């Protein structure tokens, strides 16, 4: 049984009786204005629902439980960080409004002193608040966020002229955004006319349940706090898988020095991933890739399990997070997916990556991670023959997906590929892509693969125009014959036109701005717009000798795309009808 003590406290007692620290192994502050709005509305609704009866003074509004343990006179918050942080920001906004009102209402001086005891140390001699000594600090905040938070809580922050604009700015720190949200809400007339009553309700009738965990030493206190946290079902934001792994790794470090080094490294990696253009690349993504690397090393091509189950409870893998090499490999994968080796990639490889990005699942990324780390393990050059590796990956994935367009078709061949890499030094998809390609119904499957149209068109663009530049943003799919049918198109009727309009032969990549300008215009007018495009295919189409784009033109281009891609598939699936494989670079057999 974990050692703990708990006592229900109102906000005034909770905040004034403690100094809080958010440990470095915690997740960053993540509440948005949505959560702040819900908290504010709940408190206001509770306040407005109170009547004038004396019995209403006994009503309470429960804000949730807090799990913490004391170390060096500070409460280390293990669960309830989001609520505690937000309450501090809310109370600072309340304090600002109280100071503003106090010049006209001397009755607010007592309220001012009460709030100061919640936010800051009080000088014993003068009784004044020492605003340089806040009751709250966060080790997990970035340096930039920490600077903002300190300026708010040390009362040196200057309000912007346009508060709403700063709140709407996505680059605004969560601390600043939520503080300004509460500043704006304190202007509500329903609240300001009963300010003292509202503040009294917030401070004395809104309650939390702090659970302070004890133990024989700091390690035991943390262990007990984590145990309590894992058994509670509370209203806080659930920890992600990577948050859980962070705690496991942190707990496994033997010394305070090791813990500090790990926490700083984790923070450094997490901050670097925030700058990635792909917002799906975060610590959870990195651990998913790491899971598949571990599976590959164990030559495991079976069904995958949940990420948390894999690292935290599976008997074969649960000790991996405690191994010394884990964080260095996590860091290496982070660098890989953060583009630190991008300058070593050829233009063709970058083109192929854009094709893969439009494949509607991310399993190809797991094989890429495994292949990269395999080359590091074996001292091989990952970038040698890299184009061939990506070409074979694209070919096998697209042929399988064209065949059935199901995620269940992709997972086995990816698992086979990375397990075979560590088993026999080659990427063996162990699939029937050659048989699929030779089947007489494949062309119909290809022409009906609407969910893959973006990948197929991107692949065609780069195969037909290998000099095409990569990294062009804001591209859309253009319908060469307009998607919106007009009655005055010669030689067409709406019913007849529909299958041609949605044919792959009628679609191409085009700059968004030009796509909007071309819209439903006639083909001859569209050509003028196409000439200004960064897309080479559009530039070539601008020189098309005909003034109309008709059914035969769509069919001709459709067949050209099909033949071009099938030739690519045949060249790159390789192997026999039962096994498609490619040798890893420089691997000896």
- Supply the pTM of this predicted model: 0.69
Residue 234 has a pLDDT of 45
Token pair 């309590």 is found at 228
Taking the CA atoms of 546, 547, 552 and 555 in sequence, report the sign of the dihedral they define: positive
Residue 100 has a pLDDT of 87
Token pair 């050059």 is found at 381
Residue 480 has a pLDDT of 93
Rounded to whole angstroms, how far apart are CA atoms 580 and 576?
Answer: 6
Residue 233, burial from CB neighbour count under 10 angstroms (0-12, 13-18, 19+): exposed
Residue 425 has a pLDDT of 94
Which of 279, 287, 292 shows the shortest CA–CA distance to 240?
Answer: 287
Would you list the domain boundaries of the chain? Answer: 4-237, 247-431, 450-573
Tell me the chain's radius of gyration from C-alpha atoms.
31
pLDDT by position in tens, the chain (length 589): 457 888 899 999 999 999 999 987 787 898 999 999 999 999 999 998 876 555 556 789 999 899 999 998 999 998 899 999 999 999 999 999 999 887 777 778 899 999 999 999 999 888 899 999 999 999 888 888 999 999 999 999 999 999 999 999 988 999 999 999 999 999 876 777 889 999 999 999 999 999 999 888 877 887 788 777 766 644 445 667 888 888 888 878 888 788 888 888 898 898 889 877 787 899 999 999 999 999 999 999 999 888 988 987 778 888 899 888 999 999 999 999 999 999 999 999 999 999 999 998 899 999 999 999 999 999 999 999 999 999 999 999 999 999 987 778 889 999 999 999 999 999 999 999 999 999 999 999 999 999 999 999 999 999 999 999 999 989 999 999 887 766 666 667 777 778 888 999 999 999 999 988 877 788 888 999 999 999 999 999 999 999 888 889 999 999 999 999 999 999 998 543 223 445 544 332 2
80 and 69 in contact (C-beta within 8 Å)?
Answer: no
428 and 396 in contact (C-beta within 8 Å)?
Answer: no
- Count CA atoms within 13 Å of residue 99 on its CB side: 10
Rounded to whole angstroms, how far apart are CA atoms 218 and 228?
Answer: 15
Rounded to whole angstroms, how far apart are CA atoms 557 and 212?
Answer: 70
């Amino acid at each position: 049984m974990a050692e703990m003590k708990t006592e229900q406290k109102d906000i005034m007692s909770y905040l004034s009786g403690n100094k809080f620290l958010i440990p470095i192994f915690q997740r960053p502050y993540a509440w948005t204005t949505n959560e702040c709005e819900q908290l504010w509305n709940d408190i206001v609704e509770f306040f407005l629902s109170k009547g004038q009866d004396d019995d209403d003074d006994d009503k309470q509004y429960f804000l949730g439980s807090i799990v913490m343990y004391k170390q060096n006179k500070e409460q280390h918050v293990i669960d309830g960080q989001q609520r505690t942080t937000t309450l501090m920001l809310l109370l600072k906004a309340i304090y600002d409004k109280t100071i503003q009102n106090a010049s006209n209402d001397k009755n607010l001086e007592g309220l001012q002193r009460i709030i100061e005891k919640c936010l800051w140390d009080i000088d014993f001699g003068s009784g004044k608040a020492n605003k340089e000594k806040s009751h709250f600090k966060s080790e997990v905040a970035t340096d930039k966020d920490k600077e903002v938070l300190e300026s708010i809580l040390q009362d040196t922050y200057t309000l912007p002229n346009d508060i709403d604009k700063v709140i709407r700015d996505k680059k605004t720190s969560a601390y600043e955004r939520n503080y300004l949200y509460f500043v704006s809400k304190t202007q509500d007339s329903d609240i300001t006319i009963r300010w003292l009553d509202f503040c009294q309700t917030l401070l004395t009738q809104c309650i939390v349940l702090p659970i302070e965990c004890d133990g024989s030493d700091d390690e035991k206190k943390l262990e007990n706090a984590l145990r309590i946290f894992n058994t509670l079902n509370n209203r806080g934001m659930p920890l992600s898988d990577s948050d859980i792994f962070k705690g496991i790794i942190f707990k496994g470090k033997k010394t305070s020095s090791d813990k500090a080094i790990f926490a700083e490294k984790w923070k450094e990696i997490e901050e670097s991933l925030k700058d990635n253009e792909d917002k799906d690349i975060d610590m959870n993504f990195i651990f998913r890739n790491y899971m598949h690397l571990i599976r590959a090393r164990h030559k495991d091509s079976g069904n995958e399990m949940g990420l948390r189950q894999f690292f935290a409870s599976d008997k074969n893998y649960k000790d991996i997070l405690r191994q010394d090499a884990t964080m260095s490999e996590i860091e290496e994968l982070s660098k890989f997916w953060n583009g630190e080796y991008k300058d070593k990639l050829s233009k063709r490889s970058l083109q192929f990556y854009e094709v893969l990005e439009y494949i509607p699942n991310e399993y190809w990324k797991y094989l890429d991670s495994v292949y990269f780390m395999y080359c590091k393990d074996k001292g091989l050059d990952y970038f040698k023959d890299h184009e061939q590796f990506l070409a074979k990956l694209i070919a096998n994935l697209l042929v399988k997906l064209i065949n059935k367009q199901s995620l269940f078709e992709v997972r086995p061949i990816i698992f086979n590929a990375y397990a075979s890499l560590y088993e026999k030094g080659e990427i063996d998809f162990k699939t029937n892509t050659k048989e699929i390609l030779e089947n007489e119904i494949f062309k119909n499957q290809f022409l009906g693969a609407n969910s893959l149209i973006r990948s197929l068109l991107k692949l065609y663009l780069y195969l037909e125009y290998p000099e095409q530049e990569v990294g062009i943003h804001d591209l859309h799919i253009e319908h060469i014959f307009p998607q919106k049918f007009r009655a005055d198109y010669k030689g067409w009727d709406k019913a007849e036109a529909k299958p041609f309009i949605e044919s792959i032969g009628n679609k191409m990549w085009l700059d968004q701005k030009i796509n909007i300008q071309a819209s439903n215009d006639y083909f001859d007018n569209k050509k003028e717009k196409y000439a200004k495009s960064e897309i080479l295919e559009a530039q070539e189409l601008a020189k098309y000798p005909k003034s109309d784009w008709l059914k035969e033109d769509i069919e001709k281009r459709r067949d050209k795309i099909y033949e071009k891609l099938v030739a690519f598939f045949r060249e790159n699936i390789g192997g026999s009808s039962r096994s498609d494989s490619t040798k890893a670079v420089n691997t000896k057999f």
